[in-house]
Amino acid sequence: MDDSHKLLAEIREANLSYLMLAQALIRQDRASALLQLGLNEEVAQILEMLTPAQIIRLASSNLLMCRMRFDDQMIWTLLSDHGSTAPGMDRSASRLHASILMAGQLEDAL
């Protein structure tokens, strides 16, 4: 299998995993799923109602279904512990800070 076919197969596998996870999270705890996945209510309703056959068909796309939800350098820096953190700020505090910033971005988007 050449590299392009392998990459397409990996995209399809990621799509299937993402769609199945999204549907399970939505069914288990809708409010938390909306926050964690960065979805709005309309998309959540669609994902929740998909049949297994529809999920497989959607996953077969050569387009990645999930995406990076934020493009803020500060959030990536806080999450990855890349660079120095503020004096006295430990890793859990920097991740909490990143979570707060991401939640604010999600609320702005909705």
Residues 6+ apart with CB under 8 A from 85: 78, 91, 93, 94
Q: What angle do CA 95, 10, 31 make, to 5 degrees?
A: 40
Q: What is the pLDDT of residue 90?
A: 65
Cβ proximity of 44 and 19 under 8 Å: no
**pLDDT on residue 35:** 85
13 Cβ contact list (under 8 Å, min separation 6): 59
What is the rounded distance in angstroms from the CA atom of residue 66 to the CA atom of residue 22? 10
Is 64 strand, coil or helix? Answer: coil
Mean pLDDT by 10 residues, the chain (110 residues): 90 96 97 90 97 96 83 70 56 65 58
